[in-house]
Amino acid sequence: MLALSLELYHARQLDLLGVIRLMTLNPAQILRLSVGRLAPGAPADLVLFDPDLGWRICPDDFRSKSKNAPFDEWPVRGRVRRTVVDGRTIFRHDG
């Protein structure tokens, strides 16, 4: 989802903060959740990513049981490097 959303940034249709806002703060506000922002005392939930790292979407690499994707083999830019939930790393991609 991140790499596909970053297409708006790479196509200069949105700035990077706009893409991030659409994927974090806006959904949290719609669902009336007190998440989606960094604030003192809030859980440290964040994603570190390289917005320019290129790769190809491969459904076989999905962690989901579902392997169907309309974006199979699409070249994209933007890769999650690390996911932190409540201050703990739960995903890391070093490659």
The 3 state secondary structure assigned to the chain is CHHHHCHHHHCCCCCHHHHHHHHCHHHHHHCCCCCCCCCCCCCCCEEEEEEEEEEECCHHHCCCCCCCCCCCCCEEEEEEEEEEECCEEEEECCC
> Averaged over 45-67, what is the pLDDT?
90
The number of folded domains in the chain is 1
CATH number at residue 69: 2.30.40.10
Supply the mean pLDDT for the chain: 90
Compute how many other C-beta atoms are within 10 angstroms of the C-beta atom of residue 21: 16
Task: Give the residue among 90, 88, 93, 86 at the shortest CA–CA distance from 35.
Answer: 86
One-letter amino acid at 90 equals I
How far, CA to CA in Å, does 5 sit from each of 2, 15, 24, 82? 5, 11, 12, 17
The reported pTM is: 0.81
pLDDT interval class at 39 (50, 70, 90) = confident
Structural domain harbouring 63: 2-92
